[in-house]
Amino acid sequence: MTGTATVPPLLQREMGCTMEEFVRWIPGATRNAPVVSCGEGSTATHTVSVASGSVQISVQAAPSRRIGAIVLPVLLVTFRFIDLDAIQRAEFLAHFDNYTRRGGG
């Protein structure tokens, strides 16, 4: 599991997926928690009800990465944990990461 000290109330990262993939993953990645989504095009915000608080996930499309002939999509993702303690943040992020992790080979 992700260490509790490593999940701050505000976390930014890049994810290698499209906006469409991200939206499809939300139900499973959030354990089917209630979600309110808004936005269109290259930006969106998803507010997830979790325990006694919420997680606001802001997503913005970024320029794709190119490795030779391979083009990889990139999303800038910001997690804002509201009224969740360090353990709740770590548990949410551990499940989210496990669900959205892509396997290779």
Residue 21, domain CATH = 3.30.1370.80
- Across the range 17-44, mean pLDDT stands at 94
The whole-number pLDDT of residue 30 equals: 97
Strand order in the sheet with 43-50: 10-15, 70-82, 53-67, 43-50, 35-38
Whether 72 is covered by a domain: the verdict is yes
Q: Report how far residue 11's alpha carbon sits from residue 69's, in angstroms, rounded to the nearest whole number.
A: 31
Residue 2 domain-assigned (yes or no): no
List the structure tokens of 24: 């499809």
Give the model's pLDDT for residue 41. 81
Over the stretch 36-89, which tens digit does the pLDDT of each residue have? 999 988 999 999 999 899 999 999 999 999 999 999 999 999 999 999 999 999
- Give residue 51's pLDDT: 87
Could you give the number of structural domains in the chain?
Answer: 1
Q: Quote the pLDDT of residue 6.
A: 83
